[in-house]
């Protein structure tokens, strides 16, 4: 049966579906007509002995029937393809629209959604374009042929009536078994895709913990599981096809034997017998083809079930609603409660865990409110409720007395500007990321850039606002990314502002100078801030203090300080002492500080820094991507187009491994399958024509046995050939995935700068999947076709040289000319389709990563248009390929049957009216027709060859890139000793990200003693993080860097990174259990070590609160985990790794002070006896560091202990004076 969703699509596009039925009917009539007129032609020339001149009218009618069949077949395929394209487009729109309405909290793994949107929909297209029409043909063609046969041979109709129901019976029986296996295969494919995406997005974390190379084994295991599950599914599919083959071939053999006996004893006429024999294979052909399409059908069916499940996910966001032109004045939260994943009556159960509960407060125009509280207190949840990314489980949010849910969603999001704590920047230019789809003048754009304090770093880039950045803002520092997001907010200018840690990742000088701009931005607006800094708290008129999802205090900063409640506890945790009126006054907190950034770093007259200023300002490089032929191929890709076909072939054969022997078996059984088919049809024809002459029964016995032998052997050989060849092909894909990841691993992180993770995912999944056709359709079919052609030459030479020439000509036409025409027609579209598929995956992956920004800035239409355009480009390319392939198939169909007619016309004069010689008219004609089964796969072999070559080139183009860092150490040189605490020395180190980019560092010399704790502070973009990337060996450098007495490049990458324990502001959590995420640092850790790590990171209570404890699965990228919990997991990893050198890059950014103080204390405990580099914008607690380096523009401006730098009253003193304590 056809899946419900597919039926709905057929009904939606019923015009196409009806057209499909009409063309199927016409094609069937063409088949019946062709069989009838060919039977008449043979009867007249063989049985009646008429010369060629007397049968031209019959030949004309025969040609007409063939032309009708060709036209109907072409129109069938075009209509089926068009119907599938429309259905796929409709389903894609539904999925995409539903995804956007679900918002950022789908609960779905990103890899699953990407797989559904791309490979899943491709399976649906194949299901509707191939499987559904084949089901239609399988019902219609046998019915019409049965009507035609029943009048000519009633007993044959009985045979058909008995055998026909067996086929759907066995299909249903086997299909039930295959259904569960197909679901398993989908899950494995989806999991493999999701795992690759997880690995790509978390590759830095994997490398830092020395686990990226181990992923080779994981990927090998997952690929092997996917290979094995696919082969299990195919085994069932091939078993189904075997049953169909056996039933159809044995039935054909029975019919041939029965009709032969009937002719022998005079119960049937030759015309009716031969007509039935010609129709019998055509009767079963649709059923055999349905069996061949069985796997496609099951894969498409599973995809449709998954689509149904996705579309059934509940949407909290109502679409319709009211709009207002009145100025917004108040927003009231009235008894608002929210529980994640809870709907309807489930909210009233005692087990319901609320993220926020019974919250009441009011936001007013011209007033600033701020949410304050610990991690997980519910601050972000309240912001998301205000943004209508979710709706309250209980209570209401009123906007000027109107329920927010009764307002139009698009209207409301136009009224709100949201800057999240981790804004997403998209792959593109800075201009595109700031304007974010809004048409603005350059004057307005530059004003926003200046207001966001981004003008200096934008001007320092060679292409300014047209500088390309990578996915997620690759190429920019954390502070630079934040300023771009703030500039985006200045562009929008809406009446409601929600700013979540708006000053996160900013150095204190930039934060100070940004205050004035934020004052202008917030003027006369309804403002909700989320933050932890005392300075930003003082900006607020009302502080809303949250604890465990409830507002426990609210009031002004001064009121809450005086109240000495929970807020005072937060302050005490942050400052180490109670906050009194005197200390507040001493801190000189202002509503908005008017100190400029220039003043912020002024050293003053008392400063005595004598460090030279840099010659070149250091910035991260632009990512120069050249668009070529409508794709996102880079210039580097273009330069590598000269990769030879031979190199690609060599790699494709190299990855086969032990399955290489299966290639010879596949070639043998491929040939035997076609040979048995030719034998079956020619022997059956011989049997019928010989029986018409009524010889002795003994004369027919060999042909009767031959018909049975060839019939059974054909089915068995086909089954063996299919299974062996697919086993070989999927072994090849397994080898390719492992080979590609091995090549890719050293190229990361640089590859992600140039290509998006979606593009790379497309190469790993779609391109490698494409290469299965190389093994199945490019290598095997040509060998069998050539061998059968040689045998055919010998056979035809027994009758006439003209037949040999005919066979040679049709071989050239069928094996070379038609495939070449199809190839030339499809070549450009084939290459484009591969690139478009990667573009689409890239876009979908990045859209999922930035879906919150897309929704809150109401960019759904723009992104939807982009996705539609990319899918339209892919569909257009696929349509060209489909049309070319269909044209080739139609020409090939015509060549097959016209050759059959020509063979008969050549044999008619040779027989010269003799019945004994006339037997061979039909035998030769049918032999020529059946020969074309060997040539059939060659029509698309060239196309698949080109597709495979293009896919392999895309893989090689990336795999053969020169890594940013190369191994210069052999395995014999690697020390197995545990690393010890050592000093670090930079000796005249220079570094730039690209050949043409300015240097970040020039002749940097710096020494850090063993066991010394060094803090690095300074403005954003001054090169702090770059210092760590060189140590971590993500990029190469000039000069020398020493770990102890060994130069860094004399260590293997794994050995060097084994010295480090890293904790960054962008900690990546994988889609795995909490335990697996912690064990990443030490997979073989004992349960005791794991528990101690959890206890050290203060995760015990949180882990116990989880539904499955340590086995609880974390979402992709750590979705559903608060910032504090994320960093605590990272801290547990750090403790478990216990490395002698700690590299800490703003590890406390964006955390509330309770969490920050706890984590900072834990970090200081962990630092004992270790060498530490600690990058931070938060200057509190730096008194405990041995040294502080003040870095600016890639140069160490000041270097010394905390007290000495403060006494120096230079750059660090001015910076520290501006530092805002946090809470």
Buried b (16+ CB within 10 A) or exposed e, 935-964: bbbbbbbbbbbbbbbbbbbbbbbbbebebb
Q: What gap in Å lies between CA 1172 and CA 1008, rounded to an integer?
A: 9
pLDDT tens-digit profile of 529-566? 988 777 678 788 899 999 888 999 999 888 888 888 88
End-to-end alpha-carbon separation of the chain, Å? 63
pLDDT tens-digit profile of 392-422? 989 999 999 999 888 888 888 889 998 887 7
Residue 187 CB: number of other CB atoms within 10 A? 15
What is the per-residue pLDDT for 9?
86
What is the per-residue pLDDT for 1211?
84
Going by C-alpha positions, the residue among 244, 243, 252, 322 that lies closest to residue 281 is 252
Q: What gap in Å lies between CA 963 and CA 912, rounded to an integer?
A: 75
| Higher pLDDT, residue 561 or 370 | 370
Q: What gap in Å lies between CA 534 and CA 517, rounded to an integer?
A: 18
Q: What is the mean pLDDT of residues 603-620?
A: 32
How far is CA 206 from its chain centroid? 20
Residues 546, 361 contacting (CB under 8 angstroms): no
Residue 637 has pLDDT above 90, yes or no: no
Q: How confident is the model at residue 1171 (pLDDT cuts 50, 70, 90)?
A: very high
Q: Which of these ranges, 554-558, 751-755, 810-814, 825-829, has the smallest mean pLDDT?
A: 751-755
pLDDT tens-digit profile of 328-365? 899 999 999 988 766 555 555 656 778 889 999 999 99
What is the per-residue pLDDT for 639?
45
428-429 and 526-530 as β-strands: parallel, antiparallel, unpaired?
unpaired
| Higher pLDDT, residue 1191 or 345 | 1191
User: Model pTM?
Assistant: 0.69
Tokens of 513: 């100078």
Q: What gap in Å lies between CA 170 and CA 522, rounded to an integer?
A: 71
Q: What gap in Å lies between CA 489 and CA 510, rounded to an integer?
A: 17
Q: Which of these ranges, 20-29, 477-486, 821-830, 957-966, has the smallest mean pLDDT?
A: 957-966
Q: What gap in Å lies between CA 846 and CA 270, rounded to an integer?
A: 68
Q: What is the mean pLDDT of the chain?
A: 80
- CA dihedral in degrees (22, 28, 29, 34; nearest 10)? 150
Residue 1202 has pLDDT above 70, yes or no: yes
Q: What is the mean pLDDT of residues 227-235?
A: 78
What is the per-residue pLDDT for 1120?
66
Going by C-alpha positions, the residue among 152, 209, 151 that lies closest to residue 1135 is 209
Going by C-alpha positions, the residue among 875, 945, 962 that lies closest to residue 83 is 875
Residue matched to tokens 């220039």 = 598
The number of helices, as runs of H, and strands, as runs of E, in the chain is: 48, 22
Going by C-alpha positions, the residue among 286, 297, 59 that lies closest to residue 175 is 297
550-555 and 542-547 as β-strands: parallel, antiparallel, unpaired?
antiparallel
For residue 851, what is the enclosing H or E element?
Answer: helix 851-856
Tokens of 205: 């974390």
How far is CA 399 from its chain centroid? 40
Tokens of 930: 């059946």
pLDDT tens-digit profile of 48-100? 888 888 999 999 999 999 999 999 999 999 999 999 899 999 999 998 888 88
Q: Which of these ranges, 238-247, 347-356, 1177-1186, has the smallest mean pLDDT?
A: 347-356
pLDDT tens-digit profile of 178-196? 556 656 665 666 667 667 7
Q: What is the mean pLDDT of residues 1119-1123?
A: 70
What is the per-residue pLDDT for 347?
55
**Highest mean pLDDT pick, 230-234, 377-381, 625-629, 932-936:** 932-936
Residues 6 or more apart whose Cβ sits within 8 Å of residue 783: 667, 670, 671
pLDDT tens-digit profile of 974-995? 556 677 778 999 999 998 876 5
Q: What is the mean pLDDT of residues 707-722?
A: 86
Residues 6 or more apart whose Cβ sits within 8 Å of residue 614: 1002, 1193, 1194, 1195
Tokens of 1037: 């450098």
What is the residue-wise DSSP string for 130-164?
IIHHHHHHHHHHHHHHHHHHHHH-HHHHHHHHHHT
pLDDT tens-digit profile of 1047-1065? 988 888 888 888 888 887 7
What is the per-residue pLDDT for 124?
85
Set out the domains of the chain in order of their start, with CATH numbers: 154-267+655-747 (no CATH), 597-620+965-1059+1139-1223 (3.40.50.300)
Order of strands, sheet of 394-399, starting from the edge strand that comes earlier in the sequence: 356-364, 330-338, 394-399, 402-403
Going by C-alpha positions, the residue among 637, 609, 662, 666 that lies closest to residue 937 is 666
Q: Which of these ranges, 170-174, 443-447, 519-523, 765-769, has the smallest mean pLDDT?
A: 170-174
What is the per-residue pLDDT for 788?
92
What is the per-residue pLDDT for 213?
78
pLDDT tens-digit profile of 1010-1030? 999 999 988 777 788 888 888
What is the per-residue pLDDT for 59?
94
Q: How confident is the model at residue 604 (pLDDT cuts 50, 70, 90)?
A: very low
Q: What gap in Å lies between CA 899 and CA 930, rounded to an integer?
A: 11
pLDDT tens-digit profile of 995-1004? 556 788 888 8
Going by C-alpha positions, the residue among 834, 833, 837, 835 that lies closest to residue 880 is 833
Q: What gap in Å lies between CA 21 and CA 126, rounded to an integer?
A: 18
Going by C-alpha positions, the residue among 417, 415, 404 that lies closest to residue 318 is 404
Q: What is the DSSP letter of 646?
A: H
Q: Is 733 exposed, middle or buried (0-12, 13-18, 19+ CB in 10 A)?
A: buried
Tokens of 886: 């269909």
Residues 6 or more apart whose Cβ sits within 8 Å of residue 758: 114, 471, 838, 840, 841, 842, 843, 844, 845, 846
What is the per-residue pLDDT for 307?
86
Helices 215-264 & 294-311 angle (0-180, nearest 10): 130
Q: What gap in Å lies between CA 1099 and CA 1109, rounded to an integer?
A: 11
Residue matched to tokens 């939606």 = 12
Q: What is the mean pLDDT of residues 703-729?
A: 85
Q: What gap in Å lies between CA 123 and CA 663, rounded to an integer?
A: 27
Q: Is 286 exposed, middle or buried (0-12, 13-18, 19+ CB in 10 A)?
A: buried
Q: Cα angle vertex 372, ends 1149, 1216, to 5°?
A: 45
Q: What gap in Å lies between CA 608 and CA 621, rounded to an integer?
A: 33
């Amino acid at each position: 049966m056809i899946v419900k969703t597919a039926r709905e699509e057929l009904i939606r596009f019923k015009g196409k579906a009806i057209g499909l039925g009409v063309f199927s009917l016409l094609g069937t009539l063409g088949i019946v007509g062709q069989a009838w007129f060919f039977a008449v032609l043979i009867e007249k020339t063989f049985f009646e002995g008429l010369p060629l001149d007397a049968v031209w009218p019959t030949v004309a009618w025969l040609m007409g029937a063939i032309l009708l069949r060709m036209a109907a077949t072409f129109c069938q395929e075009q209509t089926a393809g068009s119907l599938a394209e429309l259905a796929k487009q409709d389903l894609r729109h539904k999925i995409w629209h539903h995804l956007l309405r679900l918002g950022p909290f789908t609960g779905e793994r990103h890899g699953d959604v990407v797989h559904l949107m791309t490979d899943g929909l491709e399976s649906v297209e194949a299901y509707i374009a191939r499987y559904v029409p084949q089901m239609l043909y399988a019902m219609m063609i046998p019915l019409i042929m049965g009507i035609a046969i029943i009048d000519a041979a009633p007993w044959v109709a009985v045979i058909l009536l008995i055998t026909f129901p067996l086929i759907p019976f066995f299909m249903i029986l086997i299909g039930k078994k295959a259904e569960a296996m197909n679901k398993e295969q989908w899950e494995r494919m989806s999991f493999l895709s999701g795992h690759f995406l997880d690995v790509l997005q978390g590759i830095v974390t994997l490398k830092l913990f020395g686990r990226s190379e181990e992923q080779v084994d994981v990927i090998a295991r997952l690929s092997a599981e996917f290979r094995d599950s696919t082969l299990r599914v195919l085994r069932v599919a091939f078993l189904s096809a075997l049953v169909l083959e056996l039933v159809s071939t044995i039935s054909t053999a029975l019919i041939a034997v029965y009709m032969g006996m009937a002719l022998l004893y005079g119960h049937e006429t030759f015309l009716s017998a031969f007509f039935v024999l010609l129709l019998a294979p055509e009767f079963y052909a649709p059923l055999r083809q349905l069996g061949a399409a069985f796997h496609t059908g099951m894969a498409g069916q599973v995809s449709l079930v998954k689509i149904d499940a996705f579309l059934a996910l509940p949407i909290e966001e109502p679409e319709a609603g009211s709009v207002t032109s009145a100025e917004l004045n108040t927003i009231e939260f009235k008894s608002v409660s929210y529980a994640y994943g809870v709907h309807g009556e489930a909210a009233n159960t005692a087990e319901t865990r609320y993220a926020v509960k019974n919250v009441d407060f009011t936001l007013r125009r011209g007033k600033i409110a701020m949410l304050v509280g610990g991690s997980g207190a519910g601050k972000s949840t309240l912001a998301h409720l205000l943004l209508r990314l979710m709706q309250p489980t209980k209570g209401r949010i009123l906007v000027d007395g109107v329920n927010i849910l009764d307002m139009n969603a698009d209207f409301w999001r136009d009224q709100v500007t949201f800057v999240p704590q981790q804004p997403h920047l998209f792959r593109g230019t800075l201009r595109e990321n700031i304007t974010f789809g809004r048409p603005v003048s350059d004057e307005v754009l530059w004003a926003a850039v200046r207001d966001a304090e981004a003008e200096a770093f934008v001007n320092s880039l060679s292409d300014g606002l047209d500088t390309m950045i990578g996915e997620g803002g690759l190429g920019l520092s954390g502070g630079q990314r934040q300023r771009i997001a703030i500039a985006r907010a200045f562009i929008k200018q809406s009446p409601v502002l929600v700013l979540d840690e708006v000053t996160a990742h900013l150095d204190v000088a930039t934060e100070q100078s940004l205050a004035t701009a934020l004052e202008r931005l917030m003027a006369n607006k309804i403002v909700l801030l989320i933050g932890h800094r005392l300075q930003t708290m003082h900006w607020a008129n009302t502080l809303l203090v949250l604890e465990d999802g409830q507002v426990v205090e609210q009031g002004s900063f001064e009121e809450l300080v005086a109240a000495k409640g929970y807020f005072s506890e937060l302050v005490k945790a942050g400052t180490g002492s109670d906050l009194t009126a005197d200390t507040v006054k001493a801190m000189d907190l202002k509503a908005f500080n008017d100190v400029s950034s220039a003043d912020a770093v002024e050293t003053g007259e008392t400063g005595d820094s004598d460090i030279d200023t840099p010659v070149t300002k250091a910035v991260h490089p632009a990512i120069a991507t050249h668009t070529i032929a409508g794709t996102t191929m880079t210039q580097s890709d273009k330069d590598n187009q000269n990769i030879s076909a031979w190199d690609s072939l060599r790699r494709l054969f190299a990855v086969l491994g032990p399955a290489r022997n299966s290639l010879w078996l596949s070639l043998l059984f491929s040939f035997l399958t076609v040979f048995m088919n030719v034998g079956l049809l020619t022997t059956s024809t011989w049997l019928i024509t010989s029986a018409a002459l009524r010889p002795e029964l003994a004369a027919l016995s060999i042909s009767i046995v031959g018909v049975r032998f060839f019939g059974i052997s054909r089915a068995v050989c086909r089954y063996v050939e299919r299974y062996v060849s697919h086993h070989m092909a999927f072994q090849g894909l397994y080898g390719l995935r492992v080979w590609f990841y091995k090549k890719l691993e050293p190229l990361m992180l640089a590859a992600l700068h140039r290509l998006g993770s979606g593009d790379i995912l497309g190469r790993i999944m779609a391109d490698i999947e494409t290469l299965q056709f190389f093994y199945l359709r490019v290598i095997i079919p040509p060998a069998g076709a050539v061998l059968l052609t040689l045998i055919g030459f010998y056979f035809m030479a027994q009758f006439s040289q003209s037949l040999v020439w005919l066979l040679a000509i049709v071989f050239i036409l069928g094996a070379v000319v038609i495939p070449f025409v199809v190839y030339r027609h499809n070549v450009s579209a084939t290459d484009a389709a591969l690139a478009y598929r990667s573009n689409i995956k890239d876009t979908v992956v990045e859209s999922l990563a930035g879906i919150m920004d897309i929704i809150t800035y109401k960019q759904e239409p723009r992104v939807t248009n982009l996705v539609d355009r990319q899918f339209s480009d892919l569909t257009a390319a696929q349509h060209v390929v489909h049309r070319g392939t269909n044209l080739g198939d139609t020409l090939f169909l015509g060549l097959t049957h016209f050759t059959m007619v020509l063979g008969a016309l050549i044999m008619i004069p040779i027989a010269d009216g003799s019945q004994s010689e006339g037997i061979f008219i039909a035998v030769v004609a049918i032999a020529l027709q059946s020969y074309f089964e060997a040539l059939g796969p060659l029509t698309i072999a060239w196309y698949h060859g080109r597709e495979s070559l293009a896919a392999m080139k895309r893989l090689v183009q990336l795999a053969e890139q020169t890594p940013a860092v190369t191994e210069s150490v052999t395995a014999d040189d690697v020390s197995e000793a545990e690393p010890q605490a050592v000093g670090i020395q930079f000796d005249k180190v220079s570094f730039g990200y690209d050949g043409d980019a300015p240097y970040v560092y020039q002749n940097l010399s710096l020494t850090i003693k063993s066991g010394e704790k060094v803090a690095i502070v300074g403005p954003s973009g001054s090169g702090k993080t770059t210092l760590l990337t060189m140590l971590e060996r993500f990029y190469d450098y000039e000069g020398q860097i020493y770990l102890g007495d060994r130069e860094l490049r004399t260590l293997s990458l794994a050995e060097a990174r084994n010295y480090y324990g890293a904790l960054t502001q962008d900690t990546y959590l994988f889609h795995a259990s909490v335990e697996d995420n912690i064990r990443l640092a030490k997979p073989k850790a004992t349960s005791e070590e794991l528990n101690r790590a959890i206890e050290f990171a203060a995760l015990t209570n949180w882990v116990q609160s989880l539904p499955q404890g340590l086995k609880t699965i974390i979402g992709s990228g750590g979705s559903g985990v608060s910032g504090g919990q994320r960093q605590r997991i990272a801290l547990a990893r750090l403790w478990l790794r216990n490395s002698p050198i700690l590299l800490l890059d703003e590890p406390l950014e964006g955390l509330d002070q309770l969490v920050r103080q706890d984590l900072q204390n834990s970090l200081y405990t962990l630092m004992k006896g270790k060498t530490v580099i600690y990058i931070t914008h938060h200057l509190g607690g730096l008194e405990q560091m041995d040294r502080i380096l003040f870095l600016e523009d890639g140069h160490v401006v000041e270097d010394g202990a905390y007290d000495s730098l403060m006494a120096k009253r230079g750059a660090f003193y001015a910076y520290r004076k501006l530092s805002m304590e946090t809470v």
